[in-house]
């Protein structure tokens, strides 16, 4: 028996993430959510104020994982190449540890209302700004090729967005092998060959 059973609210968030993933945020109703967790709508509101409360938690909890991860990477004495590897691993970890939440985070954030939408976008811009600085520093130190830093940034990020849909270890490829292969594939186009 688990020593730390999930609370009703945790179950609601988990089930809501699955519904948002399957139906989309706009098409999911509070009645859908209540039925999914076996509560009457009146009882459901004693746990959750609104559907957007759930979306906010999913988006900002996921954003926090990236923010904390970025701070840890920036605080290391690693080379820019090593930092880029760490950031790719961070994206893979977030996408594969909880693919349902990652799907909602990637696809449904646009439905946040103000001021939450602006706050979320500010967090994302700050994260991308730090990511860009690592790429620019790597170009400056000649670890990376002379390629547009923005092009590198968005190519890497967009190349990892599909993981929550398709990353399933197989007999041929373990989760670690998928991660290592992706890092090799993405870095080959960026890393400067040293003669």
Give the span between the Cα atoms of 12 and 130, in whole angstroms. Answer: 34
Least confident span in 14-28, 77-91, 96-110: 96-110
Concatenated DSSP letters for 160-172? HTTHHHH----SS
- Structural domain count of the chain: 2
Q: Is the predicted pLDDT of residue 18 greater than 60, yes or no?
A: yes
64: left (phi over 0), alpha (psi -120 to 50) or beta: alpha
Strand, helix or coil for residue 134: helix
* Domain-embedded: residue 193: no
- Pair (36, 57) in one structural domain: no
Sorting pLDDT into bands at 50, 70 and 90, what band is 165? low
Nearest Cα to Cα of residue 133 among 147, 151, 153, 156: 153
Q: Is the predicted pLDDT of residue 191 greater than 80, yes or no?
A: yes
Q: Is the predicted pLDDT of residue 195 greater than 50, yes or no?
A: no
Give the span between the Cα atoms of 142 and 127, in whole angstroms. Answer: 23
Q: What is the CATH number of the domain that holds 65?
A: 1.10.357.10
Q: Whole-number mean pLDDT of the chain?
A: 89
* Domain-embedded: residue 112: yes
Q: Is the predicted pLDDT of residue 10 greater than 50, yes or no?
A: yes
Q: Do the beta carbons of residue 192 and residue 144 sit within 8 Å?
A: yes
Query: 60 lies in which domain range?
Result: 52-188
Q: What is the pLDDT of residue 129?
A: 98
| Average pLDDT for 11-39 | 94
Q: Do the beta carbons of residue 138 and residue 86 sit within 8 Å?
A: no
Q: Do the beta carbons of residue 118 and residue 60 sit within 8 Å?
A: no
Buried b (16+ CB within 10 A) or exposed e, 21-38: beeebeebeeeebbebbe
Give the span between the Cα atoms of 3 and 16, in whole angstroms. Answer: 24
| Average pLDDT for 136-149 | 96
- Pair (43, 71) in one structural domain: no
Concatenated DSSP letters for 61-127? HHHHHHHHHHHHHHTS---HHHHHHHHHHHHHHHHHH-HHHHHHHHHSGGGPPTTHHHHHHHHHHHH
Q: What is the CATH number of the domain that holds 42?
A: 1.10.10.60
Q: Do the beta carbons of residue 58 and residue 105 sit within 8 Å?
A: yes
Please indicate, yes or no, whether the overall pTM of this predicted structure exceeds 0.85: yes
- Pair (57, 109) in one structural domain: yes
Which backbone phi and psi does 191 adopt, to 5 degrees?
-65, 135
Nearest Cα to Cα of residue 28 among 116, 134, 108, 85: 108
Q: What percent of the chain clears pLDDT 90, i.e. is strictly above it?
A: 66
* Domain-embedded: residue 195: no
């Amino acid at each position: 028996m688990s020593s730390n059973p999930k609370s009703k609210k945790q179950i609601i968030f988990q089930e809501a993430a699955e519904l948002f993933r399957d139906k989309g945020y706009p098409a999911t109703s509070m009645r859908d959510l209540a039925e999914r967790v076996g509560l009457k709508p009146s009882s459901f509101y004693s746990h959750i104020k609104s559907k957007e409360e759930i979306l906010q938690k999913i988006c900002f909890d996921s954003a926090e994982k990236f923010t904390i991860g970025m701070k840890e990477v920036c605080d290391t004495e690693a080379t820019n190449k090593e930092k880029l590897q760490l950031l790719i691993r961070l994206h893979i970890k977030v996408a594969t540890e909880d693919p349902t939440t990652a799907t909602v985070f990637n696809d449904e954030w646009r439905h946040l209302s103000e001021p939450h939408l602006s706050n979320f976008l500010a967090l994302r811009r700050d994260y991308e700004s730090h990511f860009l600085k690592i790429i620019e520093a790597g170009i400056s130190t000649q670890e990376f090729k002379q390629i547009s830093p923005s092009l590198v940034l968005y190519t890497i990020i967009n190349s990892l967005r599909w993981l929550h849909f398709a990353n399933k270890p197989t007999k041929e490829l373990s989760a670690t092998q998928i991660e290592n292969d992706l890092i090799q594939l993405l870095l080959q186009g960026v890393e400067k060959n040293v003669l």
